[in-house]
Structure 1
């Protein structure tokens, strides 16, 4: 199709850009909603299964608590493997994002069906590993959110992603109250609160496949196409009024600049639209394809600033899960409280996390990500120091020990969400769109390291608070020191 330097191009392009932008934002909204529902489901699945998993394993013949740890680790190992692979793949082929999310959701179905059937403890552990493989799509979804948003929007959208997962963790245990009294059989399969979550989420992921197929889009690629269309429209406007100084001197990158001298063929760029006006206004526009970019490796991303951010992720999740692990034994042995009080406390923790995420969204335009990270670090260190002093308070002022313990945990669980999500947002802003998948994969690896090591450390020194919290405080001080050294270089691109 040929495009003349007459009235047609200047008159049609502004309308074309406006319609393409509206269409993109509509399709992005649908995709974001689907992604947030998936994040909520992943959080809910863990929250529903973990409280009943140990009894479920016992009903299948397990007598060793190590099996429970293996079950938890199996999910995380599966997530690590798939996150790295999916992250690498979507950076190589951005158009595969929808297919990968679809495949990940499909993997969840047999994993949850296996968990529902039970049969044997290793069958259940294998089921959680398969579900972990499917959970790697979270890295893809977050990478797409980073590609399809500006630096100003990104913190809000990533916070929503983390917040929905936290909402799933918050409301997940409530579902178990509804499943508690169910004891029946489906053929030879026992249906109870231990096995039923597998059936529920197998059905959910089957429905999610329909939503992903019908509404999920490769919004990163659509956003890139929209940017190129807007850039082309600006250059065309410059040509119309003869302002060639703003156009790049070389015609290789944007051949449209030569239209003042001759009448070229303008190649058509498929616009992100399925509406009837697509055929009328569709143009092929030369642009820099991400497929032509020299793709970076995982090692190329490990700059000094990225390493510091990943170390932050390790320390944040190490501290969070360390504190979460010591809550049940402390509540039982030090204060004589049981499961109901533990559940109420975890509910409080979830509410705190939501408040922390809301704070990040509200201040995103007033405070830099780096500033929010520092605020979160300060809150965490205050909480850890207070936890270290809990034993002394319990001995000298026993009446104040319980509120002191609750307050100490409160500082930690307010600081971790705001610091972790801000560090993820900052990391996504320090790399280009061609590396977002690998960055999210590295983030998942770092957070999983903290998630695995934190409970192990807490289990070894749960009643030795000076060692438990002292070493953790030293780790955070090292992290803060490295963060301060890299502060000036952590500038969004």
Structure 2
């Protein structure tokens, strides 16, 4: 029987590889896509449509994957299924032939990429609140490494020129066959390394059972069913409600004072909340019945949730707009070519990777809302600089390089903190039971931003000041919303803990209040 800690480590490796390949795919497809379409009579407008197609299918499928994950808690099956779309989409990209084939290939690949919402949901359910930002930074860091590896893979891909049967392999079709092979490898990685890790409340029970098993070997009355003992069977049995069904022998031998689960519903261990300041109290366990009665509308109309969804959209909208316009800006102002732009993006990649490492180290000491507010404040600075310098800038590397370098470094430095704080805090203000759908909605909102951002970037050439002013105004809106909703932008478990503490204090006051009011002398007592 494999230990839970080992399964978690292997699952983390599989998750990292999933995000790594997502970064590689973006980095190897994007540089040659426009030229590939040009060879198939595709114009700049069609290039934008193909770029948006990937995000569009992800917008539609992310919430659906999330709903399935919430209902059945079978992330592994979802990834194996979604990965087939990535394999098929990249094979279509390899085959090519027409511009519409490329459009279809990116649509199909986007269906597979949408499963990322389910992975984020599993990370949220299986990590502590204090350690969640660290876990999310690992996944984001893996994607960033993929973005750095992609350009390195483009060099050998550019020299390809041979045939595989009727298919011609060159620098255009090469990325398709490469990613097709890598996603086939991922299918086996997920099959053998990925596990559906149970939520935190059940991990305690499993770890206790494993410790008891290690201290005292199982007696002869443990039955073996299909190669597994009944304890393991019961610990990993998930019913339709998504709760573990522990058999009587598991409850009696493994829990030892931990929460006891019966008939798929938690009987919550009664902690002494009056003397316990921990914010890690399980919000999901203490509110099982309440959360089941909350409608989706109730969840997504909460002020703190709306603030974070707005931040997600604004971030993705502004970032994709800048990414679309930056090569045009560097060409006009700095006379940068392909090599210089590659170096520029490589520097950005290393800066982002460094920020994820910093986040992993400091996330346990600063709150998500502090990280969010600080990063949004930092992101306002480069937009102000762009509004001042860019509309009136004249071509010339000597006069433009200094201010462009400063705003570039500042802008990139805040991205990692903004991404992680939004995802981490969003997982803590939405119910654990619906993390899959919630993360799917968040990714869908961001996907809408990635579709609209490149379209808005066209205004950089004709009305740069107005275009940048709107982008800065959007970040300023998020900044003001974060400030006004500061008290609500924190984990719901903290709110529940404070409510419990206040309730305990009120009960304590009631218990110490005298039964008889007034001065005891009034009753003739000396």
**Bin for the TM-score computed over the shorter chain:** 0.7 to 0.9
Among 83, 93, 115, the alignment partner of 1:137 is 115
CA offsets per residue over residues 268-287 of structure 1, 9 Å max, x none? 972359xxxx99x8558634
1:76 corresponding residue in structure 2 = 55
Shift, 1:464, TM fit: 3.5
* Aligned residue in 2 for 1:46: 26
Q: Which residue of 2 aligns with 1:89?
A: 68
The answer to whether the aligner puts 1:388 opposite 2:365 as a matched pair is no
Which sits farther off after the overlay, 136-145 or 392-401?
392-401
Matching of residues 18-417 of structure 1 within 5 Å: 23-59=3-39, 61-94=40-73, 96-221=74-199, 223-228=200-205, 270-272=234-236, 282=250, 286-287=261-262, 289=264, 294=292, 298-302=296-300, 303-391=302-390, 394=393, 399-417=398-416
Distance in 1 separating the partners of 2:264 and 2:425: 25
Q: 1:141 to 1:392 in 2, by over 3 A?
A: closer
Change (3 A) 1:396 1:31: closer
Deviations 1:54-109 (A, max 9, x none): 121222x2232122111111111111122110011111111x21111110112211
**Residue 387 of structure 1: CA displacement?**
1.2
The answer to whether the Cα contact below 8 Å between 2:356 and 2:416 also exists between their aligned partners in 1 is yes
Give the TM-score normalised by structure 2: 0.77
Contact 2:70/2:434 (<8 A) preserved = yes
Q: Would you say the 8 A contact 2:55–2:448 is kept in 1?
A: no
2:243 aligned residue: none
TM-score by length of 1: 0.82
Name the counterpart of 1:241: none
How far the C-alpha of 1:178 sits from its partner, in A, is 1.4
Cα distance in 1 for partners of 2:410, 2:352 equals: 11
**Per the alignment, do residues 462 and 409 of structure 1 end up closer, same or farther by CA in structure 2, a change over 3 Å counting?**
farther
In structure 1, list runs of 5 or more residues that go unmatched: 1-19, 234-265
Partner of 1:337: helix, strand, or coil? coil
Alignment check: 8 A CA contact 1:27 1:217 kept: yes
Distance 1:152 1:316, change over 3 A: same
1:429 is aligned to: 428
Q: Given the superposition, is the C-alpha separation of residues 383 and 421 from structure 1 closer, same or farther in structure 2, using an over 3 Å criterion?
A: same
State the match for 2:471 in structure 1: 472
**What is the DSSP-based 3-state SS (H/G/I as helix, E as strand, rest coil) of the residue aligned with 2:97?**
coil
Structure 1 residues 466, 209: closer, same or farther in 2, change over 3 A?
A: same
Structure 1 position 165, deviation (Å): 1.3
Aligned residues: 434
The separation in 2 between residues aligned to 1:145 and 1:443, in whole angstroms, is 15
Q: Is the 8 A contact 1:312 1:420 kept in 2?
A: no
Contact 1:42–1:168 under 8 Å retained in 2: yes
Whole-angstrom CA distance in 2 between matches of 1:398 and 1:349? 19
Partners of 2:401 and 2:9 in 1: CA distance: 45
The alpha-carbon deviation at position 217 of structure 1 amounts to 0.9
> Is contact 1:295–1:435 with CA below 8 Å preserved after alignment?
no
* Residues 219/52 of structure 1: CA separation in 2 closer, same or farther (3 Å cut): same
For the residues of structure 2 that align with 1:77 and 1:411, how far apart are their CA atoms? 30
Superposed CA offset, 1:382-420 (max 9, x none): 111111122377459973321201211221111122112
CA distance in 2, matches of 1:392, 1:72: 27
Q: Cα gap change, 1:483/1:374 in structure 2, threshold over 3 Å: closer, same or farther?
A: same
User: In the alignment, what sits opposite 2:270?
Assistant: none
1:341–1:298: structure 2 CA closer, same or farther, 3 Å change rule? farther
Partner secondary structure for residue 489 of structure 1: coil
| Corresponding residue SS for 1:185 | strand
Q: Is contact 1:32-1:145 (8 Å) kept?
A: no
Could you say which residue in structure 1 is the equivalent of 2:452?
Answer: 453
* 1:187, distance to aligned residue in structure 2 (A): 2.4
* Contact 2:378 2:410 survives alignment (8 Å): yes
Separation in 2, partners of 1:209, 1:74: 24
Residues 51 and 153 of structure 1: is their aligned pair in 2 closer, same or farther, counting only changes over 3 Å?
same
Please give the alpha-carbon distance, in whole angstroms, between the structure 2 residues aligned to 1:282 and 1:431.
31
| Residue ranges of structure 2 left out of the alignment (5+ in a row) | 211-229, 238-245, 253-259, 267-287, 494-526
SS at match of 2:15: helix
Task: Please report how far the alpha carbon of residue 171 of structure 1 lies from its aligned counterpart in structure 2 after TM superposition.
Answer: 2.1
| Counterpart-to-counterpart distance in 2, 1:69 and 1:177 | 25
CA contact (8 A) 2:391 2:465 kept: no
Q: Is the 8 A contact 2:24 2:147 kept in 1?
A: yes
Do the aligned residues in 2 keep the contact of 1:308 with 1:482 (CA within 8 Å)?
yes
Do the aligned partners of 2:56 and 2:110 also contact (CA within 8 Å) in 1? yes
Instruction: Give me the whole-angstrom Cα distance separating, in 2, the residues matched to 1:31 and 1:232.
Output: 21
